[in-house]
Structure 1
Amino acid sequence: MTDPSTGEPAGYGARDPDALARRAGTRADPDHDQHFLVDDRVLDRIPTYLPADADRSHLLEIGGGAGALTDRLLAAVDAGGPEPRGRVTVVERDRAFAAFLREEFADAVDAGSLDVVEGDALTVALPEFTACVANLPYGVSSEIAFRLLPERKPLVLMFQKEFAERMVAAAGEPEYGRLSVSAGHYADVELVESVPKEAFDPQPAVESAIVRCTPRDPEYTVGDEAFFLRFVKALFTQRRKTVRNAIRNTAHISGLAEPEAVVDAAEEDLLRRRPGTLDPSAFAALAELAREHGSPPDTAGDGPSTEG
Structure 2
Amino acid sequence: MTTSPPTGERNPDALVSRAGVRGNPDYDQHFLVDDRVLDRLPGYLPEGTDLSHVLEIGGGAGPLTDRLLARVAEADGRVTVVERDPHLAAFLREEFAADVETGRLTVLEGDALDVELPDDVTASVSNLPYSVSSEIAFRLLPLDVPLVLMFQREFAERMAADPATDEYGRLSVTAGHYADVEVVEPVPKEAFDPVPAVESAVVRCVPRNPDYEVPDDEFFLRFVTAVFTQRRKTMRNAIRNTGHISNLADPDAVVSSADESLLSKRAGTLAPADFAELAALAWEVGDPQ
Partner deviation per Cα, 1:156-211 (whole Å, 9 max, x = no partner): 00000000000000110011000000000000000000000000000111000000
The one of 105, 126, 131 aligned to 2:123: 131
Q: Number of residues paired by the alignment?
A: 288
CA–CA separation in structure 1 for the residues paired with 2:8 and 2:198: 27
Q: For 1:111, give the aligned amino acid.
A: T
CA–CA separation in structure 2 for the residues paired with 1:278 and 1:145: 23
CA–CA separation in structure 1 for the residues paired with 2:271 and 2:48: 29
1:72 aligned onto 2:63: no
Q: For 2:89, give the aligned amino acid.
A: A
Q: What residue is the counterpart of 1:40 in the other structure?
A: 35
CA–CA separation in structure 2 for the residues paired with 1:197 and 1:149: 26
CA–CA separation in structure 2 for the residues paired with 1:291 and 1:87: 42
- After TM superposition, what 4+ stretches of structure 1 lie above 2 angstroms from structure 2? 8-11
The one of 70, 77, 80 aligned to 1:89: 80
1:277 aligned onto 2:269: yes
The one of 51, 58, 61 aligned to 1:56: 51
SS in 2 for 1:156: strand
Partner deviation per Cα, 1:99-118 (whole Å, 9 max, x = no partner): 11011111111111101111
Residue 95 of structure 1 and its aligned partner are, at CA, apart by 0.5
CA–CA separation in structure 2 for the residues paired with 1:13 and 1:130: 21
Residue 18 of structure 1 and its aligned partner are, at CA, apart by 0.4
Q: What residue is the counterpart of 1:26 in the other structure?
A: 21
Residue 11 of structure 1 and its aligned partner are, at CA, apart by 2.4
1:12 aligned onto 2:7: yes
CA–CA separation in structure 2 for the residues paired with 1:90 and 1:13: 16
1:198 aligned onto 2:216: no
Partner deviation per Cα, 1:191-236 (whole Å, 9 max, x = no partner): 0000000000001110000000000001000011111000000110
The one of 96, 100, 106 aligned to 1:109: 100
Q: For 2:9, give the aligned amino acid.
A: A
Residue 259 of structure 1 and its aligned partner are, at CA, apart by 1.1
1:158 aligned onto 2:150: yes
Partner deviation per Cα, 1:15-54 (whole Å, 9 max, x = no partner): 1100001100111111111101000000000000001111
TM-score (norm 2): 0.97
Q: For 1:19, give the aligned amino acid.
A: A
CA–CA separation in structure 2 for the residues paired with 1:268 and 1:285: 13
Q: What residue is the counterpart of 2:171 in the other structure?
A: 179
Q: What residue is the counterpart of 1:305 in the other structure?
A: none
Q: For 1:88, give the aligned amino acid.
A: V
Partner deviation per Cα, 1:226-257 (whole Å, 9 max, x = no partner): 11000000110000000100011111111111
CA–CA separation in structure 1 for the residues paired with 2:167 and 2:215: 27
TM-score (norm 1): 0.91
Q: Which runs of 5+ in 2 are unaligned?
A: none
Residue 14 of structure 1 and its aligned partner are, at CA, apart by 2.6
SS in 2 for 1:77: helix
Identity %: 69
Q: For 2:173, give the aligned amino acid.
A: V
CA–CA separation in structure 2 for the residues paired with 1:53 and 1:235: 38
Q: Which moved more, 1:40-49 or 1:263-272?
A: 263-272
- CA RMSD, 1 decimal: 1.3
Q: What residue is the counterpart of 1:304 in the other structure?
A: none
CA–CA separation in structure 1 for the residues paired with 2:181 and 2:54: 19
Residue 9 of structure 1 and its aligned partner are, at CA, apart by 4.2
Q: What residue is the counterpart of 1:118 in the other structure?
A: 109
